[in-house]
Amino acid sequence: MLDERYRTIVEARTRRPEAIAEAAARRARPRSLFNEHGRLMMIAADHPARGALRAGDRALAMADRLELLDRICLALSRPGVNGVLGTPDVLEDLLLLGALDGKVVVGSMNRGGLAGTVFEIDDRFTAYDAASLARDGFEGGKMLLRIDPDDPSTVATVEACGRAVSELASRRLLAMVEPFISHRVDGRVRIDLGAEASIRAMTVAAGIGNTSAYTWLKVPVVEDMERVMAATTLPALLLGGEVSSAQDAAFESWRKALKLPTVQGLVIGRSLLYPPDDDVAAAVDTAVGLLQEGTG
């Protein structure tokens, strides 16, 4: 990113904070959730607000905000990429850079379950709410719903997510729910990526809120994906998960899952922003190609 563009962000934040609202008001809205390939292709960048900065073997890969913005802007500039998911700080930087015109913008809502803390499952809503997403003219909100059968904090998160789904739906905004069954192992929260756990998590997520009309699911690719996705009729987006050295295998798993009828696209973060070979453009283009295969 050119130093001049970086200075533009700092100048606005320091001397003209109202420039953020002005940029949101003049942003060109997308005509549809879908791109020319008939799917939704989103870049996810909401990890830092939860203190999750690792990408592959780089513990603080996402700690350099200028580099992160550079990578996001590059990904958003590639053909076939039509959306972004982020927290207010990231999306507002992108607004000031003019990078969100015509893109589907989804704001991340609950980032209070900080990575590695004793209260991680108590995912408080600390970022966007439905009112602020509507105010900024964004297309929807995303929430993380981790269900730990042994942690009483789970019930508060389920209730809060249900309320958020209802509030988004009342404004006809997309409610993107990312559900997992989780357990603490040696003091750390671990996601259960088994098929049965994924099915249970999805069925809980599909049923929260006073309507599911605007609810989409954000789901990992797991074994027996056909049986997993048969658990609900809600549209779903595939998430990328951790950066893997076996990137070809990850692409192949996405390719297979994209053939399932309820899978409507991809919402990928670190796997595309910090690929093993550091070629962001090539990784993004490969992912877009998978979507085009699914419609061809």
CA 114-111-167 angle, 5° bins: 150
Asked whether the whole model's pTM tops 0.85, one would answer yes
Look up residue 241 and give its DSSP letter: -
Q: Alpha-carbon distance 73 to 91, whole Å?
A: 11
For helices 247-257 and 280-295, the axis angle rounded to 10 degrees is: 20
150-207 pLDDT, tens per residue? Answer: 999 999 999 999 999 999 999 999 999 999 999 999 999 999 999 999 999 999 999 9
33-85 pLDDT, tens per residue? Answer: 998 879 999 999 999 999 999 998 889 999 999 999 999 999 999 999 999 99
CATH entry 3.20.20.140 includes domain 3-7+41-295 = no
Domain boundaries, given as residue ranges, for the chain? 3-7+41-295
Q: Alpha-carbon distance 296 to 179, whole Å?
A: 30
Q: Alpha-carbon distance 100 to 29, whole Å?
A: 9
Q: Is the dihedral of CA 116, 270, 196, 113 positive or negative?
A: positive
210-245 pLDDT, tens per residue? Answer: 999 999 999 999 999 999 999 999 999 999 877 677
